[in-house]
Every structure is written in C-alpha cells, then in structure tokens.
Structure 1
C-alpha cells in the first residue's frame, strides 16, 4: 500500500487538492501496478509562519 504524506503551504482550493490527488494516484497506479484503492495520500496544510528554509520563516520572505 503506497502512502504519501504531502506537506504544502495552505491556500490551495479543494478542487486543486482533488486534481492533485487524482494525478498522484493515477501515476502511482501506472508505475507501481497497484489499484487506486491501495493508494493513500495525506495532505497537510502548513502556515508559512510554521515553515522555515535556511533559517528564515517563509512568512518573512518578501
């Protein structure tokens, strides 16, 4: 059972998330030869103030 955990900045619409998980599921089924029901995808919305790269919060980026 492939399971994906995807962390992304909040702000995507439900439709964008729907399209994303459909595309990931399709690619996984084609490449790993598994059924769609075996693919789990967990989306985690993260605020920019809770994510940092290179010692700098994304909320501080100009």
Structure 2
C-alpha cells in the first residue's frame, strides 16, 4: 500500500496513515456488506407458493 503523500514521511506518520487507511478499508467492507440487496423468498415454480418448492409441491405429486 502506498501511503506517502509527498516529502519525507516519518515512521510515526507512516503508521498513522497506514492505520487510517486500514480503518477506511474495513469500514468500506462493512458498509458494502450492509448494502447487499435482499433476495426474494424461494417459491414453487409449479404453483408459485412460497410455502414449498417444486420438488415438494402437492400439485406435482398429485399428477404423478
């Protein structure tokens, strides 16, 4: 990671810049995880009910 912003950088300043950059990265990851869109609930592709899926659909089993 490049942290110098011009001129001479002391060790203490470098550590401070590195820590601030790390906090920005961690905060950005947490924020990105919080912004994940929610998925729609699973539903049956036979009768479109959210109570079950097509594999366990009573309509499908009744026709078999």
Tell whether the structures are fold-level matches, with TM greater than 0.5: no
**Which of the pair has the greater relative contact order for Cα pairs under 8 Å at 6+ separation?**
1
Which structure shows the higher helix fraction? 2
In which range does the TM-score fall when normalised by the shorter chain? Answer: 0.3 to 0.5
Larger Rg: 2
TM-score (norm 2): 0.37
TM-score (norm 1): 0.38
